[in-house]
Each structure stands twice: as structure tokens, then as C-alpha cells.
């Protein structure tokens, strides 16, 4: 099972002898399905070559903060947004001290300050350095700020000493990285999620649809499963891998999607992320429609309203905690708030699909969450996986308070 499938991990490599294990760690992370980008400190490059890590990760290694080619596009900020997890292995005593003080004098320390993703350190140093009061204080301060420490382990060290300070083995670190995405916030709850577009047939070869890729809904399903929920994912036609531990039901039309959702009820939480067609052709031709020489250049297609899936489900007697999405191209918060009220929702998540960097088919998103009190919580641009985990945490918190 690839527990890190499609997770975006930045592996920071500090300047310690344990850097030789970083190469194997890249392999272990990729074996679990992660996309790995490596950032090396100057000291790290003294112990292992960038070429080795590039070959294993499949991506160029990032080394310099002031790289003119990368910084023309604000490369360090893009990396910070890209990451789902920043894992530094090995993390030396010096690197931990600089992070504790908020120093940003190289690419890796700058990334840690700039990212909203979780940060984890795998300490690796001499046993005396690990026990030194300064290191003990730095470790405690970093943990207070939410940075996780993986290890260290105890045992023989390269210098000949024996004691705590050894970096954990690559298998252990890959397991710890996967555990970062398992929150348990929705353990025992049933979450129903809709995703992707719907297709409404015109004739046997043509249909009406939209540009939804389904990526946000699938990311939410994965995040809900990581949070311990039993997840039912009802998806329109997309070409995406089903997340682990998720029951997927494939549908085509809006009416198909409504029927599948009703069959999956009851649920504790409904997250309607699908881009459902509001209208469908009134009549579906049994045969392919041919061009009519008498009709000139036009064809009249009469449309009728589809059932409103979200409004229907949120009006049930066994109503779940209901979360909708509003994909808008203008007046984002106004239209989203109107939808929140009209459909009797607990939360609505609004995103601007006119922005190509966060619109349909993009790998990233930025959203605003609106609650019943009209309070707005904004989540800045990040990968859809990271946004999904933030949303699931927010939804779980509001669900338990409801």
C-alpha cells in the first residue's frame, strides 16, 4: 500500500555523516508513492553529491537561495507552497539551532519559514551534542512551535561514541512521514464526498459537461480517510486513482449522482465538491443527430433543470453536516454566501476558478470558508492535497462543535 501516494515531500539534507542515508530515504519515500524534491545545505553537499539525489528523486536538486534562474519566478516561495511535508534528514545541531532562532540564511531554512506545510526533523549528531543544554532547549522550542522530531535513536556512532543521536533508519523515517498524514480527527465517522463533473447526454456520441478534473474532491477523500473516516466517494467521469481505504462509486449524470448519494446515506458529513451540471437536454436522441441542411448553421437544444443534489440531501430528515463548494468567476464571497443560505449548509468553500493558477485542472488551490455566521476563513494558495487536509481539519472541528 502506497501510504504517501502523490504526497509532495521536500527532503532537506543537512551536513552530517548520516547524509549517506538520505539517498536510501529518497527511495523509500518514492516506494510509498511520494513525489520528492531535495534541498541540500552547503554542508550536506560535502557528504553526498547532488547528482546522486537527483538520480534517485527524478528531479533537479535545489541548493542555493540566490539562484537567479529559480528566483526569477520566486523559486523558494513556489517550493514552500508546493510541499505537503518538509522533512529534514539529517538535521544537525547547527541546523536545529538556526531553525530555533528563525534564521533564514540559506534555501532550506528560508523554506521552513515560508511554508505552511508540516515540518519534521530527524536529528543526527554526536551523543554529547544531543545532550548539550543548548540542543535540549532548541529541540524543546522547535517542538513547542509544532515542528516534529523523528528520533534520534541510540547506538554506536561514526565517531566511536555510543548513545542517543543516531538518525533513524530510512524505513523508520518513511513510516513516520506517512504517519504525519494520519490525524484520527474523524475516526468512526462516515463521510460522503462528491467529486468531478457530470455528463449530460445529447445523443449517443455527444454530451454536455464542464472542466472539473475531480482533483479537489479526490484530495478531500484521501484526507478524510487519513483522518480515520469511512469514506464514500461518488465521482463523475474522471481519470484519477482511487485513494486507499476509500469506497468509490462511479456515475455519469447528475441524476445518477443523486441516486448514488441517496443510496449511500445516512452519513455524518457530506462534502459536495462535484461540479454538477445544472441543466440537461430535455430529450436525448436515440441516434446520433445529423446536420439538417434545412436548418442553416444553428441547432436548437432545449434544456431542463437537473435536481439539486446538495439542497436535496441537506433537507433530509437525517440531514448530515453539510458542506458545499462554490466555484465562481466573479463576486466570489457574495455568490458563495447566497448558496450557503439557499441550500441550508453548515459551511461553504469558495474558490475562484477564473484564476488559472487555482482553477479547474490546476494542482493548487486557494479557498475561503464561510460559516453560518458569515465568518470567512481564508486558506492561502497551496497544493490541493495540503488544502484538503486543512479543510478536513476545519470541517472536523466544526462538526464536533455542532
* Residues designated catalytic: 159
Query: Which pLDDT tens digit goes with each residue over 158-188?
Result: 777 778 899 999 999 999 999 888 888 999 9
Give the pLDDT confidence score for residue 1 in this predicted structure: 47
Across residues 98-103, what is the average pLDDT?
95
If you compute the radius of gyration of the chain from its CA atoms, what whole number of angstroms results? 25
Strand order in the sheet with 347-352: 246-250, 230-235, 190-195, 269-272, 321-328, 347-352, 364-371, 376-383
Question: Would the pLDDT of 69 be above 70?
Answer: no
Q: Which residues contact 219 (CB under 8 A, 6 or more apart)?
A: 384, 385, 387, 388
Evaluated on CA atoms 245, 250, 254, 259, the torsion sign reads negative
Please determine, for residue 363, whether its predicted confidence score (pLDDT) is greater than 50: yes
Length of the chain: 402
Question: What is the CB-side half-sphere exposure of residue 322 using CA atoms within 13 A?
Answer: 24
Instruction: Say what the pLDDT of residue 73 is.
Output: 42
State the Cα–Cα distance between residues 107 and 116, nearest whole angstrom.
Answer: 16
Give yes or no for a contact between 369 and 348, defined as CB atoms under 8 angstroms apart.
yes
What is the band of 355 on the pLDDT scale with cuts at 50, 70, 90? Answer: confident
pLDDT tops 50 at residue 74:
no
Confidence at 154, pLDDT banded by 50, 70, 90: confident
pLDDT band at 142 (very low <50, low <70, confident <90, very high): very high
Q: Mean pLDDT across the chain, nearest whole number?
A: 91
Question: Residue 307 phi/psi, 5° resolution?
Answer: -65, 145
* pLDDT value at residue 122: 97
Percentage of the chain modeled with pLDDT above 90: 75
User: How many angstroms separate the CA atoms of 69 and 111, rounded?
Assistant: 17
Q: Where are the beta strands (DSSP E) in 143-189?
A: 148-149, 153-156, 162-166
Per-residue confidence at 259, pLDDT binned at 50, 70, 90?
very high
Q: Tell me: pLDDT of 44 over 90.
A: yes
**Dihedral sign from CA coordinates of 123, 125, 127, 133:** negative
Cell representation of residue 354: 477564473
Q: Which three cell numbers stand for residue 211?
A: 472542466
Higher pLDDT, 66 or 106: 106
CB 178 within 8 A of CB 29: no
Q: Whole-angstrom Cα distance, residue 365 to residue 22? A: 31
Cell of 258: 443523486
Note the maximum CA span of the chain.
Answer: 92
Mean pLDDT of 49-69: 85
With 70 as the cut, is the pLDDT of residue 242 above it?
yes
Residue 48 reports pLDDT greater than 80: yes
Residue 296 has a pLDDT of 64
Model pTM greater than 0.85?
Answer: no
Residue 229 has pLDDT above 90, yes or no: yes
Ordered by where they begin, the domains of the chain are 8-179 (3.40.50.1950), 190-401 (3.40.50.10300)
- Please check the confidence at residue 66 and state whether its pLDDT lies above 80: no
pLDDT at 339: 94
Amino acid at each position: 500500500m502506497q501510504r504517501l501516494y502523490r504526497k509532495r515531500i521536500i527532503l532537506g539534507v543537512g551536513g552530517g555523516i548520516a547524509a549517506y542515508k538520505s539517498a536510501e530515504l529518497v527511495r523509500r519515500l518514492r516506494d510509498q508513492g511520494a513525489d520528492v524534491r531535495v534541498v541540500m545545505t552547503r554542508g550536506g553537499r560535502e557528504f553526498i553529491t547532488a547528482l546522486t539525489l537527483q538520480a534517485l528523486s527524478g528531479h533537479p536538486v535545489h541548493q542555493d537561495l540566490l539562484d537567479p534562474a529559480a528566483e526569477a519566478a520566486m523559486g523558494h516561495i513556489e517550493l514552500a507552497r508546493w510541499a505537503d511535508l518538509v522533512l529534514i534528514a539529517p538535521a544537525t545541531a547547527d541546523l536545529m539551532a538556526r531553525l530555533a532562532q528563525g534564521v533564514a540564511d540559506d534555501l532550506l531554512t528560508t523554506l521552513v519559514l515560508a511554508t505552511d506545510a508540516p515540518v519534521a526533523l530527524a536529528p543526527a549528531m554526536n551523543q554529547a551534542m544531543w545532550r548539550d543544554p543548548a540542543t535540549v532547549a532548541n529541540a524543546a522550542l522547535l517542538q513547542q512551535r509544532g515542528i516534529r522530531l523523528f528520533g534520534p535513536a541510540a547506538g554506536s556512532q561514526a565517531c566511536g561514541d555510543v548513545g542517543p543521536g543516531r538518525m533513524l533508519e530510512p524505513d523508520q523515517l518513511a513510516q513516520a512521514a506517512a504517519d504525519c498524514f494520519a490525524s484520527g480527527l474523524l475516526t468512526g465517522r462516515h463521510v460522503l464526498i462528491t467529486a468531478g463533473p457530470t455528463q449530460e447526454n445529447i445523443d449517443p456520441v455527444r454530451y454536455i459537461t464542464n472542466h472539473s478534473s475531480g482533483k479537489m474532491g479526490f484530495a478531500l477523500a484521501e484526507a478524510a480517510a487519513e483522518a480515520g473516516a469511512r469514506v464514500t466517494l461518488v465521482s463523475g467521469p474522471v481519470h484519477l486513482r482511487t485513494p486507499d481505504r476509500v469506497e468509490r462509486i462511479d456515475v455519469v449524470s447528475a441524476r445518477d449522482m443523486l441516486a448514488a448519494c441517496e443510496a449511500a446515506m445516512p452519513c455524518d458529513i457530506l462534502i459536495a465538491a462535484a461540479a454538477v451540471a445544472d441543466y440537461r437536454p430535455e430529450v436525448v436522441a436515440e441516434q446520433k443527430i445529423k446536420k439538417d441542411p434545412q436548418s442553416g448553421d444553428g441547432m436548437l437544444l432545449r434544456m431542463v433543470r437537473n435536481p439539486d443534489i446538495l439542497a436535496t440531501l441537506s433537507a433530509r430528515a437525517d440531514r448530515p453536516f453539510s458542506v458545499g463548494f462554490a466555484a465562481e468567476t466573479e463576486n466570489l464571497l457574495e455568490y458563495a454566501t447566497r448558496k450557503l443560505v439557499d441550500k441550508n449548509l453548515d459551511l461553504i468553500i469558495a474558490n475562484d476558478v477564473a484564476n488559472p493558477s487555482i482553477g479547474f485542472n490546476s494542482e493548487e488551490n486557494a479557498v475561503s470558508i464561510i460559516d453560518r455566521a458569515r465568518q470567512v476563513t481564508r486558506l492561502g494558495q497551496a497544493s490541493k492535497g495540503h488544502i484538503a487536509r486543512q479543510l478536513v481539519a476545519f470541517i472536523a472541528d466544526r462538526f464536533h462543535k455542532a
